[in-house]
Every structure is written in C-alpha cells, then in structure tokens.
Chain A
Amino acid sequence: MVLLNASGCLDALAAPDVARSLDVFVTKTVTPEPREGNEPTRIAETDHGMLNSIGLQNPGIEAFLDGVLPRLKALRIPLWVSIGGFSADDYALGAASLNGHDEIVSIEMNLSCPNVDEAPESAAEIVAACRAATALPLYAKLSPHLPDMAGVARAVEAAGADGLSLVNTLRGLAFDERTLEPRLARGIGGYSGPALKPVALAAVYACRRATSLPIVGMGGVWNGRDVLEFEAAGASAVALGTVLFADPGAPARIRDELRGSDDTSSVPALTTDKIPAHQLN
C-alpha cells in the first residue's frame, strides 16, 4: 500500500527522515500570497482526537518555488504539492506555477480547509480552472461535511480531476475544563485523529462507488489494521496525519504491521449490496 502524509502534517525539511519513510511527501498547502496563519493557541487535544487551527501558514507560491521547492527536490522524494486559495483563479494560478517542475508528480487541491474562508466557487469549478492550467495529475481534497459526497466526487471527476483525497478535517470545538472558554484562539478548528476514521471510511466507501477515480484515504489512520480498512473501503493509497505528530516512526511501524498481517490482497473488497444504496452518500 502506498503511504503518504496528509498535507499539513509533516515538514520534510524539518524531518527529512520521516519524509523518506513515506512513498510520497505532500507539502503543506501553498497559497498565491504568503500567509502568517492564525493566532495561537492553534492546537488542542481532545479525548479521541485533536483540533487545529493553523490557518494555512505558508510563504506564498513565489517564495515556495524559489526557497522551498529546490530544497524539497534535493530530498529526492516524489512530491505532491497542495494548493489553496480564496477563488478559482487563486487555485489556477497555483496550479499553473507548478508546471515544468519534474519533481512534482501531482497537485492536491485543498478544497476544504475548515480554518479559512472558502472560495465562492464550487469544487467542480475550481477543478475545471486548475485542469485548464496544468497537465499534472490533480487530486481534489474534499471535506467530510459535504451533504452529497458521491455527487461532488462525480462532479469533480467530470471537471477533470484525476483522483480524490478523502477526507479533510471535520469542524470541531473544545472548551477549557476550568474557564469554559474555547481552547483555540479562533474558536472552531479542524478535528482529526482516531475519531475521524469512521467518517473518512464512509466517505471513501461512498466515493469508490460513485467514481472510478483513485482515492487517497485519510482520517485517523493509526496502525496497519486501519490501512487495511481503508483499502477495504476502496482507497488505493493511504495518508497519515495526526499519527505522525504522536509517532514520527509511524510509517515504518505501519509497514511492519502490514507485513505481519495476512496477505493484504486477501482482504475482500466490500460490495455495495452490504449497505443500502440510499446510505452511500
């Protein structure tokens, strides 16, 4: 199984050995303009996951291309670049500026950051704008909040997406146990970690049946068994997020656990007849 990091959950320049233990390194989301990110406090652990409100802190696409990408290239790891923005034009600009860099094997469109204002256009319109701007493979990272996950998956496929990244974080809120004030400065943040796994599995499962696109599954993957579950739901690759914070050795550990398990090819793919069709969205 191909293992990636979830965007925003690893800095390959700060921890190159962790990045090399993955098959693909996915960058933090890059936006056309530099972003300082949100005011701290930015993270809070909860009983079964964590909240973050980083706010897409990044140096902007120009400084990324000049200062970060050459150093990432030197690591000789296949790269996916995550792009974001506040309009379809922002995304298209980001996608176009990545053309001609052989070290980049795919672009992930972050269509679902819970910590910034969203672009007004639909996911399909943003994908279409990026499609017109680049020939690089385009993965659409979708929010688990979509009421019609399968419908959006079909729409981004029709608009030219080459794959899906499922899922981004859920919006969540936590209060300080003594003051009853929100623990994050911005209040609401993105909820990730083990509690997200069933939500992510359902999204992968629904989209697997709605499209033929390859799916990178992510959300609460903690061990080899979780990887097998995402594979059973229909993921063709799996990304590690919060677990990398808890254990930078997770990629190697998970590979060991997968080797120690039964042959992964023997995991039976689930069939739609096990779940009523009206629940697949």
Chain B
Amino acid sequence: MLSRERRSVVAAEQIGPYTLLRVDRGRLEPGIPGQFFMLEAPGRVLPRPMSLCLAPAGELGFLFEPIGPGTRALAALERGDELAVLGPLGNGFRLDVERPLLVGGGIGIAPLPYLSQALRRPPALLGFRSHHHAEAAQLVPSANVVVEPTLVTDALPSGYDVLACGPEPMLEALAAVAPGAQLAWEAPMACGYGACYGCVVHVGGHYKRLCLEGPVLGAA
C-alpha cells in the first residue's frame, strides 16, 4: 500500500552547498535506512526521489544539492509550505552486518545519518569534492573525511562490511574492492513505485527497475 500525504515544511537549512529539508512526519513511516521518498517539487511536473537522511521525532529530513529545477524548487520551500510526500519506497540497507563501515561520496552521504543512527554510530568514511561540501560531514558521527584529490577508495580500511552511497564511479570502484558491499544507487525516476520503467539498471543481465529492486543492491 502506497502512503502519500501532504506535509508541512518545518525548516529548510543550509549545510555547506546542500539543503536539509525537514518536514512534519504526519502518519508517514520513516522506513528502513536507504529507502526513499518521492517529494513533490512545487511547480514541476514530476516529484523527486530522496532517501531519508534524518528521522528526528515527528519529522522526516531530506538532504539534497539544489542543482536542477526540481531541487531548486524544493530548496526554496519555507517553514509552513506544504508538499506531497510519498513513501517510504524501495529496499533499504540490510542491517544484520557484523563490522559495518559507512562510505559516502558527495550528496551520496544523504542516507548515512539515518543509517548511522540505526547501526549505533559505526565508523564512516566520507569523500567530498571541496571543504565547503565537506561541511555536511557534521551530520554523520564518527566520520573520517577525505577531500579530492583523495578518494574514499584511497583511504578504505579492509575487514569491514561496506554500506555505501555516492556517485557511480565511486560505487563501481567499491564494488571492485569490496565484493560484499551494499551499494545504494541513483537513477532518474518519474514515479518511484514501479509504474514508469524509467529508472532501470542492469541486474543479472536484465534491466530491472531500481525503485523496486533497489535502490540498495548487493555489489556481487
């Protein structure tokens, strides 16, 4: 059963170049870390997929970078504005891991604060393209931070169960060095619930819908 509600904005805060949009939770469930929501982007035709970043009491928090018309419209929301929120959707991270290490790159750190909370603050390794972007590391406890030209794969310790989200090249590099990693992928989505077939990725030699099969997929 899909849950979609009109919710009120509690706050839209700047963190480095990113926006943390906090909305009143209502009856929506926060779901499992790595699951996502479709957020109505005011004035736009389609909603935008956003993984849940934070789940403080009574709220849902979403972190994004305002780089396109949809994310800019979302970033312009103010306290009291309303938007439709659909979710939680998709498959999140498996939490039954022995030695978790959270790895994030850029805006891909979005699901990690909530994941960190669920896993009781495991170690984390975050990579950013600038120190300005790295301000978002404050959202993830116990995080080691690297800034380009250093990459997370340059600083990756061995012996951990990797749970990661970030740009495709980072995830592909992690898949090569950490075969058991759980990786949260991103794709343009129109609907988020399996209707549009827009968000397909290759899984097992076939195009599968990331919104239903993922967004968290095993690296193997």
The chain A residues found within 8 Å of chain B, CB to CB, are 8-11, 14-15, 17-18, 28, 36-37, 40-50, 52, 54, 57, 177, 193-194, 242, 244-249
Contact = CB atoms under 8 A, between A and B. Distances in A.
A52 B200 contact: no
B62 to A, nearest CB: 18
A18 B207 CA distance: 24
B212 interface: yes
B198 A193 contact: no
Nearest to A183: B188
Interface string B179-193: 000000001111101
A254 to B, nearest CB: 15
Contacts of B206: 36
Q: Which of B2, B45, B68 has the most CB of A within 10 A?
A: B45
A113 B2 CA distance: 29
Given A50-B190, A244-B191, A57 B200 contact: yes
B46 A246 contact: yes
Nearest to A17: B1
B195 A45 contact: no
A18 B194 CA distance: 11
B195 A50 contact: no
Given A17-B2, A42-B197, A52-B196, A248 B207 contact: no
A15 B44 contact: no
Nearest to B209: A14
B4 interface: yes
B45 A57 contact: no
Contact of A50 (B45, B197, B207): B45
B214 interface: no
A15 B195 contact: yes
Interface string B1-28: 1101000000000000000000000000
A194 B86 CA distance: 21
Nearest to B205: A36
Contact of A46 (B2, B45, B207): B45
Nearest to B46: A45
Nearest to A34: B206
B201 interface: yes
Nearest to B198: A43
A37 B47 CA distance: 24
Given A40-B187, A45-B46, A57-B207, A248 B196 contact: no
Contacts of A249: 2, 4
B42 interface: no
Contacts of A50: 45-46, 190
B190 A43 contact: yes
A5 B117 CA distance: 41
B45 A10 contact: no
A43 B195 CA distance: 12
Contacts of A177: 68
Nearest to B44: A45
B17 to A, nearest CB: 16
Contact of A54 (B46, B69, B198, B212): B198
A18 B190 contact: no
Given A14-B212, A36-B206, A45-B45, A245 B197 contact: no
Contact of B194 (A15, A57, A194): A15
